[in-house]
Chain A
Amino acid sequence: MSPLLSVENLRIAFPSRQGPVEVVRGVSFSLGRERLGIVGESGSGKSQTGRAILGLTPVSGTATADRLEFDGVDLRTASTRQWRKLRGARMSMVMQDPKFSLNPVMTIGRQLMEAVKLHGGKSEAHDKSIAMLEAVQIRDPERVMAAYPHELSGGMGQRAMIAMMLVTEPDLLIADEPTSALDVTVQIEVLRILDRLVTERGMGLIFISHDLRLVSTFCDRVLVMYAGRVVEELDARRMNEATHPYTRGLLNCLPTITGDSRPLPVLARDDAWLE
């Protein structure tokens, strides 16, 4: 089976006073209909990788790759028209914070229906939107449809955003820290919803997060990024067999409820990892 998405030698550079700085330096991976996790700390290039796949690299940056292919479409040379057909309809992205990513002056319902209408299906837009809100376990979809983003809690807003991204039934969903702004209990609920949609609809999911422990319990495969490179690729169930010192360090430096190591082991960085 050919993969849904293949990325080879992806590089993203931003100009600076000292010349271009590469923030992503040769990332390669392929994705089937599975849950792939990308983990790394701030500045490791994980979000930029996700954005580049959707062609959303900021204009000041340049993204190059030897191969960037989504279901047979070469994304490097895609025209604006092709992008319009892909984005939203076949691949979409859930952002970190619903407070900043939803339009504050439009009701949730209008934003949801806009997505449906743009990608065909004008007549059933309302019903489809309601059904989608129910699918993300919003108990009172009619009220949420009429609500503005500020009238919803963080968890509800995030669910509404997931509904918006999924209402067009995309094949690939990129979730950039979709649960970092949420409480632990809500976080698990949101992940359940994502998990069910992946399983039921056979979606491909790229889950970007800084939380290695969470990712290892949720995803099938995990890429660990450090300073713009993938330093290790792991089967999520075999997290404990990680060999790269960075992955091991990340795993060890988290406090646990049962553990009692004091002081906590601190991650010692090694310049050799940059190569």
Chain B
Amino acid sequence: MAFIDIEDLEVTFEGSGRQVRALKGVSLAVGEEESFGIVGESGSGKSTVLRALCGLAPVTSGRISIGGEPVQAPRDPAFYRRVQMVFQDPYASLHPRHTVDRVLSEPLAIHGFDRAEERVEQALEDVGLGAGFRFRYPHQLSGGQRQRVAIARALILEPKIILLDEPTSALDASIQAEVLNLLDRLRAERGLTYVLVSHDLAVVSHMCDRLVVMQGGEVVEQLTREALQAHATTEDYTRNLLTASEGFTRDPALQR
């Protein structure tokens, strides 16, 4: 049995007499200490999988289990000590009027961790920021530094699973490399399991051993990194994504 097991997950959003089926029966299995990628366009439901996993989206049907046990609804505190999420936009995911210290201490207080002081400093050290950043506000930090704080906030509860929702898409290319390296190092050091969602095939191929491609709320293809690198895809959609991510090619008709 896989570490994270998702079976026939369906999510339907309802509003003003309209139903939107965001996920139409998604099944995934992620192994322990694996780095797993989900790729797709906007609206393909890739973020919804993560949100459903950590209880932020209404699950209509299907089963989710972690470590062999089905998850509780609503999720209990023990769940959040095992599973944490890093959101896409570091400009929106940190409270603008809370200092870094407060952002990091709050989860510790909620979950009753001891030695808060020490842990906050350690977490900042781990993400390469140092104690000097402890009493700053988000507006005093750059995008990359904010994302490091968001990662520190996820790590401070010592979870086993981290859900990463487009962790670098709001960052500059040079900063993206730093954050990806940081995530890579943390996973190797702590034996974390990652589920990474991104629209950037290059990022997913760099970070993940296995990945699925999603379209319209369904999984269209599952691939290993090697298959992706060898362009060994069977689906046209994946092939289009691959070509598109290699950059612009001039329309053949105009090349004369």
A residues with CB within 8 A of B? 41-42, 153-154, 183-188, 191-192, 195-196, 199, 210-214, 216-218, 249-250, 253-260, 262-267
For the complex formed, measure the closest distance between the CB of B146 and the CB atoms of chain A, giving whole angstroms. 13
- When the two chains form their complex, are residues B245 and A257 in contact, meaning their CB atoms are under 8 A apart? yes
Mark contacts of B239-256 with chain A using CB atoms, 8 A cut-off: 1 yes-contact digit, 0 otherwise: 011101111111100100
- When the two chains form their complex, are residues A185 and B41 in contact, meaning their CB atoms are under 8 A apart? yes
* Given A185-B244, A214-B247, A266-B178 contact (CB < 8 Å): yes
- When the two chains form their complex, are residues B247 and A263 in contact, meaning their CB atoms are under 8 A apart? no
For B176, what are the chain A residues with a Cβ–Cβ distance below 8 Å? 253-254
Residue of B nearest to A192 (CB): B251
Q: Is B185 an interface residue (CB 8 A)?
A: yes
For A214, what are the chain B residues with a Cβ–Cβ distance below 8 Å? 247-248
Alpha-carbon distance between A42 and B77 when the two chains are bound, in angstroms: 39
Out of B203, B241, B250, name the residue touching A255 (CB < 8 Å). Answer: B203
For the complex formed, measure the closest distance between the CB of A151 and the CB atoms of chain B, giving whole angstroms. 13
- When the two chains form their complex, are residues A196 and B251 in contact, meaning their CB atoms are under 8 A apart? yes
For the complex formed, measure the closest distance between the CB of A272 and the CB atoms of chain B, giving whole angstroms. 17
- When the two chains form their complex, are residues A154 and B199 in contact, meaning their CB atoms are under 8 A apart? no
- When the two chains form their complex, are residues A254 and B250 in contact, meaning their CB atoms are under 8 A apart? no
- When the two chains form their complex, are residues B174 and A257 in contact, meaning their CB atoms are under 8 A apart? no
- When the two chains form their complex, are residues B173 and A263 in contact, meaning their CB atoms are under 8 A apart? no
Out of A41, A184, A255, A263, name the residue touching B185 (CB < 8 Å). Answer: A263
Residue of B nearest to A181 (CB): B42
* Given A42-B172, A257-B228, A217-B254 contact (CB < 8 Å): no
Out of A154, A254, A266, A267, name the residue touching B202 (CB < 8 Å). Answer: A254
- When the two chains form their complex, are residues A188 and B248 in contact, meaning their CB atoms are under 8 A apart? yes
Question: What are 8 residue pairs bridging A and B, where the CB atoms are less than 8 Å apart in the complex?
Answer: A154-B42, A184-B200, A185-B241, A199-B254, A218-B248, A257-B242, A265-B177, A266-B177
* Given A263-B185, A266-B178, A257-B202 contact (CB < 8 Å): yes
CB-CB contacts below 8 Å: B162-183 with A: 172-178, 180-181
- When the two chains form their complex, are residues B249 and A217 in contact, meaning their CB atoms are under 8 A apart? yes
Alpha-carbon distance between A187 and B248 when the two chains are bound, in angstroms: 9
Alpha-carbon distance between A42 and B142 when the two chains are bound, in angstroms: 10
- When the two chains form their complex, are residues B229 and A258 in contact, meaning their CB atoms are under 8 A apart? yes
Out of B174, B203, B229, name the residue touching A249 (CB < 8 Å). Answer: B174
For the complex formed, measure the closest distance between the CB of A207 and the CB atoms of chain B, giving whole angstroms. 10
B residues with CB within 8 A of A? 41-43, 143, 172-178, 180-181, 184-185, 199-203, 205-207, 228-229, 240-242, 244-251, 254
Binding site of B, secondary structure by majority: helix, strand, loop or mixed? Answer: helix
Alpha-carbon distance between A214 and B203 when the two chains are bound, in angstroms: 15
Residue of B nearest to A200 (CB): B254
- When the two chains form their complex, are residues A210 and B173 in contact, meaning their CB atoms are under 8 A apart? yes
- When the two chains form their complex, are residues B228 and A264 in contact, meaning their CB atoms are under 8 A apart? no
For the complex formed, measure the closest distance between the CB of B248 and the CB atoms of chain A, giving whole angstroms. 4
Out of B175, B228, B241, name the residue touching A184 (CB < 8 Å). Answer: B241
Alpha-carbon distance between A259 and B251 when the two chains are bound, in angstroms: 27
- Not counting A187-B244, A256-B206, a sample of 14 additional A-B residue pairs whose C-beta atoms are within 8 angstroms of each other reads A41-B173, A183-B41, A184-B199, A184-B201, A195-B250, A250-B174, A254-B202, A255-B180, A255-B203, A257-B202, A259-B206, A266-B177, A266-B178, A267-B174
Alpha-carbon distance between A263 and B186 when the two chains are bound, in angstroms: 12
Alpha-carbon distance between A153 and B44 when the two chains are bound, in angstroms: 13
Residue of A nearest to B175 (CB): A41
For the complex formed, measure the closest distance between the CB of B250 and the CB atoms of chain A, giving whole angstroms. 7
- When the two chains form their complex, are residues A255 and B206 in contact, meaning their CB atoms are under 8 A apart? yes
* Given A183-B199, A255-B205, A264-B181 contact (CB < 8 Å): yes
- When the two chains form their complex, are residues A213 and B174 in contact, meaning their CB atoms are under 8 A apart? no
For B43, what are the chain A residues with a Cβ–Cβ distance below 8 Å? 153
- When the two chains form their complex, are residues B241 and A256 in contact, meaning their CB atoms are under 8 A apart? no
Alpha-carbon distance between A196 and B255 when the two chains are bound, in angstroms: 11
- When the two chains form their complex, are residues A195 and B247 in contact, meaning their CB atoms are under 8 A apart? no
Alpha-carbon distance between A211 and B200 when the two chains are bound, in angstroms: 12
Alpha-carbon distance between A185 and B254 when the two chains are bound, in angstroms: 19
Out of B178, B203, B206, B247, name the residue touching A216 (CB < 8 Å). Answer: B247
Alpha-carbon distance between A191 and B249 when the two chains are bound, in angstroms: 9
For the complex formed, measure the closest distance between the CB of B75 and the CB atoms of chain A, giving whole angstroms. 31
Alpha-carbon distance between A187 and B249 when the two chains are bound, in angstroms: 12
* Given A42-B172, A257-B229, A191-B181 contact (CB < 8 Å): no
- When the two chains form their complex, are residues A253 and B42 in contact, meaning their CB atoms are under 8 A apart? no
For the complex formed, measure the closest distance between the CB of A97 and the CB atoms of chain B, giving whole angstroms. 13
- When the two chains form their complex, are residues A254 and B173 in contact, meaning their CB atoms are under 8 A apart? yes
* Given A217-B249, A265-B177, A210-B228 contact (CB < 8 Å): no
Alpha-carbon distance between A184 and B44 when the two chains are bound, in angstroms: 13
For B177, what are the chain A residues with a Cβ–Cβ distance below 8 Å? 253-255, 264-267
For A216, what are the chain B residues with a Cβ–Cβ distance below 8 Å? 247
For the complex formed, measure the closest distance between the CB of A99 and the CB atoms of chain B, giving whole angstroms. 12
